[in-house]
Amino acid sequence: MKIRWFSASLSACLAATLTLTSWSGFATAKEKLSVRYHPIYKTASFIKENWSSSRRTIAPNELIWDYLNARKNLFKIADQVQDHFQLESKNTDNLGMSHYRLQQVHLGVPVYGSEQTVHFNRANTVTSYMGQVIPNIKLPAFKHIKHISVPTAISIAKKQTKHVKQYLYQPTSQLVVFPYHKSFAYAYVIKLAYLSPQPTIWQYFIDAKSGKILQKINILNEIAGNGKGVKGDKKTFEITKDGNLYYLKDQIRNISTYDAKHEDENSPVITGKLVSSKTKNFSDPSSVDAHAYAEATYDFYKKSFGRNSFDGKGSAIKSYVHVGDKWNNAAWDGEKMIYGDGDGKTFISLAGGLDVVAHELTHAVTQYTANLEYQGESGALNESISDIMGVMVDSDDWLLGEDIYTPNKPGDALRSMADPTKYNQPDNYDDRYLGWQDNGGVHINSGINNKAAYLIAAGGTHYDVKVVGIGRAKTKAIYYRALTNYLTPSSQFIDMRDAAIQSATDLYGANSKEVTSVSKAYDAVGVVE
């Protein structure tokens, strides 16, 4: 499309506004204002300028409204700008610029697709505006219109996908003003997502008055990518095509994988770059595994517990590979997963371990649930929960990190839940570490709870206490329930015992064999009242 530029002197543009609101901002008269207009709505699509407020002292959050007020003519707004825009977010970048996002509203209801961005430099001068404003929407208030309910709208959309057995999450609904046939209608935007038979995210626009489907789009733009993992194994995973490039971005699970390009592991911000490829084949084994294993862990949580991402609300899962220089570790940093390449001797690329990836992502689940404090006994429980879910995701063994630890020493691992003492961890509360290292031994004392979980699942006699195994599926259900419903940030080993017994009671009954196994297991590792 050809872009047409219009220039106007500021004083001319502002003449009308200045008389209306004497305090509204203005810039020096000589400054150029360049405006590109929307071809149909004739409101500003892009403004390039240097606008600053004339008010001497002004709260930062009022500046944005002063600006919109100063430009209201360009948006064809006659009344209060506050009635037409809703502030969505503000981001300050590393250049010191502030970027505001706004949403046009009509009588309080968002106008679909009509969003705006306004950009301030560090001197609080607006340098540009971009977005869409639809003028003269003539629709009475929603409450004055006879309309169908949200559940009705959802059932209309669901009728279209009768072949779907399981949705990824509860269908969502948002009321919008929807531009339709040169007019407007209130519509519910219903989102339906599912993985099979074909990964799809439908967005249905249901007329709130008539229930008619005005439009539907599959907003999933995703395909299968492939590549080899750290161990040389071929695998497929979900990617996204955008323009000429493919990206490690799984839109249905909301998982993206970035290359940190050796940014320091201690850096407060790791920028990274979304991993891309010219073909569907991805050649970096670390990012392939980080991505595919994050997907596998997502699926584990979804399938086992119905959990949608670490927060249960579908939050974006971000992995960063090639963090640091030969860094021998991986972590959840509170917002994202970060993986080192390893030095090649102690570790190879840590993203190459499915159990490691599941361990890290479980730290995120913990943060959003029990939020176990990362020191002392609660920290050891935090570590243990990550290990438990780590081994539950990864095949049938009780080892952690076996795939990425000491490439020249086959058979060993970072930790063993079956026998924690193999890797210098205690397997009884009496042998717990009480020093200050490792946040009070969070990676050491986790062995105690790891052994208990192992005994519950696999059974065995430990320090003369016999435990009958109840299998992995029930064990993971008990720990998930304890983590999400019972444990708190200050929970100690004894609380873990009670939380596990309580969870097993809920799930299998007070006199069940499962409850017996749990209490025997904690007896066996010396966690007793």
Instruction: Please give the residue whose beta carbon sits closest to ligand L5Q in the complex.
Output: 330
Hey, which residues does 259 pair with through a beta bridge? 273, 321
Can you tell me which of 47, 414, 448, 483 binds ligand L5Q, judged by CB under 6 A? 414
Nearer residue to ligand L5Q within complex by CB, 225 or 340: 340
Report cis status (omega within 30 of 0) of the bond before 268.
Answer: no
For residue 500, give the 3-state DSSP assignment.
Answer: helix
Can you tell me which of 156, 348, 350, 455 binds ligand L5Q, judged by CB under 6 A? 350
**446: enclosing H helix or E strand:** helix 446-458
Can you tell me which of 84, 191, 318, 359 binds ligand L5Q, judged by CB under 6 A? 359
Specify whether 443 is catalytic.
Answer: yes
Tell me the number of residues near Zn ion by CB under 5 A. 1
Please tell me what DSSP assigns to residue 405: B
Specify whether 402 is catalytic.
Answer: no
Stretch that binds Zn ion, among 60-68, 131-139, 382-390, 450-458 (CB under 5 A): 382-390
Q: Burial of 38 by CB count in 10 Å (0-12 exposed, 13-18 middle, 19+ buried)?
A: middle
CA dihedral 509, 367, 332, 229 (to 10 degrees): 40
Can you tell me which of 330, 365, 392, 456 binds ligand L5Q, judged by CB under 6 A? 330
Least separation in angstroms between CB 205 and ligand L5Q: 45
Tell me the number of residues near ligand L5Q by CB under 6 A. 9
Q: Which residues make Cβ contacts (< 8 Å) with residue 341, sequence separation at least 6? A: 286, 321, 322, 324, 326, 327, 348, 349, 350
For residue 230, give the 3-state DSSP assignment.
Answer: coil
* Among Zn ion, ligand L5Q, none, partner that 227 touches (CB below 5 to 8 angstroms by kind): none
- Nearest CA to 365 out of 498, 484, 445 is that of 484
**How distant, in Å, are the alpha carbons of 282, 329, 360, 395 from that of 237?**
10, 24, 20, 19
Nearer residue to ligand L5Q within complex by CB, 288 or 337: 337
Can you tell me which of 106, 336, 443, 476 binds ligand L5Q, judged by CB under 6 A? 443
Give me the catalytic one of 106, 147, 322, 443: 443
Give me the catalytic one of 49, 115, 360, 383: 360
Amino acid identity for residue 450 in this structure: N
What residues numbered 386-405 form the site for Zn ion, per CB under 5 A? 386
Least separation in angstroms between CB 405 and ligand L5Q: 8
The reply to whether 363 sits near ligand L5Q by the rule CB under 6 A is no
Catalytically annotated residues: 360, 443
Binding residues for Zn ion, per CB under 5 A? 386
User: Footprint of ligand L5Q on this chain (CB under 6 A)?
Assistant: 329-330, 350, 356, 359, 401, 414, 438, 443
